[in-house]
């Protein structure tokens, strides 16, 4: 891991030791990796004696991740959506900002301007393509890794505080890192490297209860979520002759199934169980845009498709984007551009 060098770890720890008001931030609409890595970083900072640390989120996390989020004391967690002034005040007061699981400030939503204008020292820990390293005092960036949670795990393991022993991690950090890695790999279904399995083994030996984590992630959803999943797979999923599955979920159906943020997590992966499907596209109508999730099998690039046609990007087999067209036009758009992509770019 090229960025995890003795000099970089020394700088990393030095920045932490000098800070009086650290703030941890991640991308908008945080997923398991964003919450896992951010919460783990928060508890490590506390372990280092940084009692004036805050975790500032642009949006609340999905309900299935609250068991990780709630390990952060309520008076140290600020969610901008509903607490605008407080969130901005903490970012303005920060003298160190640790940026997790995003490669560009615009990914933080309404926090973007405050973060970019902040004079705080900045640390990047991320696994996405093409970060602007010039924006940070030090950056740990690697895309051939499962998750930001895994990258943070190896960074922390290299610090003198942890000294290569996962059992020295704060228990809350260890559980959060396992959670973040598990969700971003779809429970070891994709983006798994030898280092990922080594991380999991180290955390299990350190006492992390992976069975409890899986229970929290997969077995405590609402009944309406399961019914929504059935509706989407039965009535919304369609498969083109090019091997592209797609689903378009409008706001009417979301309201009908009492959908909450995060309830559709992982649904985009389901069509990949079909032999002839090479790529899966899930479009969900939001308040002011169509949010796109793309997953693909090996040999087909979700990232390239997202960049070309969906104003987005991500990883080779897991990417996202957005459209600014009426939901009534989304199906036609997907059919047309998925066909162009599969016949002209994925020959």
pLDDT computed for residue 190 by the predictor = 86
3-state secondary structure of 110: helix
Residue 143 φ/ψ, nearest 5 degrees: -100, -15
pLDDT computed for residue 346 by the predictor = 87
Separation of CA 234 from chain center: 28
What region does 192 belong to: left with phi over 0, alpha with psi -120 to 50, or beta? Answer: beta
Residue 96 φ/ψ, nearest 5 degrees: -145, 130
Buried b (16+ CB within 10 A) or exposed e, 78-90: bbbeeeeeebbeb
pTM value is 0.92
pLDDT in tens, 143-170: 999 999 999 999 999 999 999 999 999 9
Query: Which residues of the chain does CATH 3.90.1640.10 include?
Result: 6-218
pLDDT in tens, 177-188: 999 999 999 999
pLDDT computed for residue 253 by the predictor = 97
Reported as a pLDDT band with limits 50, 70 and 90, residue 1 is confident
Q: What angle do CA 184, 186, 187 make, to 5 degrees?
A: 105
pLDDT in tens, 26-71: 999 999 999 999 999 999 999 999 999 999 999 999 999 999 999 9
Distances (CA, A) of 137 to 86, 120, 134, 148: 25, 10, 8, 18
Helix (H) or strand (E) holding 293: strand 290-296
- 6-218 has which fold? inorganic pyrophosphatase (n-terminal core) (3.90.1640)
Average pLDDT for 278-298: 96
CB atoms near residue 180 (< 10 Å): 31
CATH of 223-345, one of 3.10.310.30, 3.30.70.360, 3.40.50.1950, 3.60.15.10: 3.10.310.30
Q: What are the residues facing 320 on neighbouring strands?
A: 293, 313
Reported as a pLDDT band with limits 50, 70 and 90, residue 315 is confident
Reported as a pLDDT band with limits 50, 70 and 90, residue 130 is confident
- Transcribe 17-40 into DSSP letters: HH-SSEEEEE-SS--HHHHHHHHH
Query: Which residues of the chain does CATH 3.10.310.30 include?
Result: 223-345
């Amino acid at each position: 891991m090229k960025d995890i060098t003795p000099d970089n770890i020394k700088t990393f720890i030095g920045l932490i030791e000098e800070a009086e008001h650290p703030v941890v931030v991640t991308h908008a609409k945080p997923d398991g990796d964003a919450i896992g890595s951010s919460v783990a970083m928060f508890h490590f900072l506390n372990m280092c004696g940084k009692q004036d640390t805050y975790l500032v989120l642009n949006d609340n996390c999905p309900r299935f991740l609250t068991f990780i989020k709630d390990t952060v004391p309520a008076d140290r967690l600020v969610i901008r959506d509903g607490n605008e002034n407080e969130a901005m005040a903490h970012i303005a007061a920060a003298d160190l900002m640790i940026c997790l699981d995003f490669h560009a400030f615009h990914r933080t939503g309404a926090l973007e301007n405050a973060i970019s204008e902040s004079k705080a020292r900045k640390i990047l820990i991320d696994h996405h393509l093409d970060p602007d390293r010039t924006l940070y005092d030090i950056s740990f960036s690697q895309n051939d890794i499962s998750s930001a949670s895994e990258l943070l795990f190896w960074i922390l393991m290299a610090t003198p505080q942890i000294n290569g022993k996962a059992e020295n991690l704060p228990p809350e950090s260890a559980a959060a890192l396992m959670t973040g890695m598990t969700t971003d790999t779809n429970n070891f279904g994709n983006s798994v490297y030898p280092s990922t399995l080594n991380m999991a083994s180290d955390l299990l030996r350190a006492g992390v209860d992976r069975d409890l984590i899986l229970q929290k992630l997969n077995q405590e959803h609402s009944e309406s979520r399961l019914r929504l999943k059935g509706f989407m797979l039965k009535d919304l999923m369609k498969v083109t002759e090019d091997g592209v599955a797609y689903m378009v979920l409008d706001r009417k159906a979301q309201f009908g199934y009492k959908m909450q943020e995060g309830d559709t997590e992982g649904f985009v992966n389901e069509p990949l169980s079909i032999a002839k499907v090479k790529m899966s596209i899930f479009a969900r109508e939001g308040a002011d845009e169509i949010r796109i999730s793309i997953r693909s099998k090996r040999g087909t690039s979700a990232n390239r498709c997202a960049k070309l046609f969906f104003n987005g990007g991500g990883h080779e087999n897991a990417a996202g984007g957005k459209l600014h067209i009426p939901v009534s036009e989304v199906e036609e758009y997907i059919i047309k551009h998925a066909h162009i992509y599969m016949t002209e770019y994925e020959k």
